Amino acid sequence: MQGLRHAALATPSGKRISVTIAPDAAHGGAFAASRIADLLHAVVGRPPVLGLATGRSVAPIYAALVETFRRHELDASRIQTFNLDEYLGLDADHPASFRHFMREQLFDPAGIPRDSCHFPEAAADEGGADLAAYENAIRAARGIDLQLLGIGVNGHVAFNEPGSSRHTRTRRVRLADDTLRENAPSFEGLGPMPTDAVTMGIATILETRHVMLVAWGAAKAAPLRRAFLGPVSSACPASYLQEHPGTVEVVVDRAAAGELERALT
């Protein structure tokens, strides 16, 4: 694709990460969608398993993926999906729920069967039995082949907020003030935003075979620097990706890449 720059980045932990810089989110989303399609095609002998994120960062990717499905370049009936997170106690039909977002942006237009699409339990109780079942469902699917991630302004991935341990699994969490402010526009006119959520944990994310993290805009430049040029620390949960045993690639636009430029080769 024209206008893309491909580079490599060596993190302080020694892990090398592939970085693709696109001129804007539309071009970056199209590239990410093509990479996802290639990686799913590479899974043979079983249904491919795709880990998914929600929000503005992934919307252009899903728009491009829908076109890929409509051209019959991917078989929607074979794919299993697992989403990272959901607001606690929010109904699936609530316009700000992640289940609603995914149905509108990807699942329904692409024709992915509803029973192939999995979310952590939005009504999870304190005992955690429902969330343990989510972990078991991922294992039963033989793990996640490709996990799509965004990054929060405070360095979170999924809803693993600063302070999250590397060993966390799918669980209930209290959302940080930064996250509440960042996501508040999605709830304008729709009532109060939940202050708690359920999220896939760091340990679960690190068990996925391939991670693709995407980010657009200057607001993501600083958290990307902390994640990939700073030390591995619970203060920036995205930095745990430096310890991922498999492949990690980053797709960003020029504004988001600003603070990574000096380290790219």
**For position 19, which CATH number holds?**
3.40.50.1360
Question: What is the pLDDT of the chain when averaged over all its residues?
Answer: 95
Residue 48 lies in a domain: yes
Residue 78 lies in a domain: yes
Residue 17 lies in a domain: yes
pLDDT, tens only, 127-138: 677 788 999 999
Question: What is the model's pLDDT at position 126?
Answer: 61
Residue 211 lies in a domain: yes
Known catalytic membership, residue 85:
yes
Q: In this model, does residue 125 exceed pLDDT 80?
A: no
pLDDT, tens only, 77-108: 999 999 999 999 999 999 999 999 999 999 99
C-alpha distances in angstroms, 62 versus 118, 201, 220, 262? Answer: 17, 23, 20, 31
Question: What is the model's pLDDT at position 127?
Answer: 60
Total tally of structural domains belonging to the chain: 1
Question: What is the model's pLDDT at position 14?
Answer: 94
Spatial contact of 246 and 208, defined as CB atoms under 8 Å apart: yes
Ordered DSSP codes for the chain: -TT-EEEEEE-TTS-EEEEEEESSHHHHHHHHHHHHHHHHHT--SS--EEEE--STTTHHHHHHHHHHHHTTSS-GGG-EEEESEEETT--TTSTTSHHHHHIIIIIHHHT--GGGEE---TT--TT-HHHHHHHHHHHHTT--SEEEE---TTS-BTTB-TT--TT--SEEEEPPHHHHHHHGGGGTTS-PPPSEEEE--HHHHHTSSEEEEEE-SGGGHHHHHHHHHS--BTTBGGGGGGG-SSEEEEEEETTTTTTTGGGB-
Catalytic residue among 156, 160, 207, 244: 156
Known catalytic membership, residue 207:
no
Q: In this model, does residue 54 exceed pLDDT 70?
A: yes
Known catalytic membership, residue 243:
no
Mean pLDDT for 179-208 is 96
Question: What is the model's pLDDT at position 130?
Answer: 74
pLDDT bracket for residue 262 (50, 70, 90): confident
Residue 60 lies in a domain: yes
Catalytic residue among 27, 85, 207, 244: 85
* Range from 114-118, 124-128, 143-147, 181-185 carrying the lowest mean pLDDT: 124-128
Question: What is the model's pLDDT at position 95?
Answer: 96
Structure-block tokens of residue 54: 């929600």
Catalytic residue among 86, 135, 161, 249: 161
Question: What is the model's pLDDT at position 131?
Answer: 85
Residue 205 lies in a domain: yes
Known catalytic membership, residue 72:
no
Mean pLDDT for 185-196 is 94
Mean pLDDT for 247-257 is 97
Domain assignment of residue 62, given as a range: 5-260
Residue 265 lies in a domain: no
Catalytic residue among 27, 135, 145, 154: 154
Q: In this model, does residue 124 exceed pLDDT 90?
A: no
pLDDT bracket for residue 15 (50, 70, 90): very high
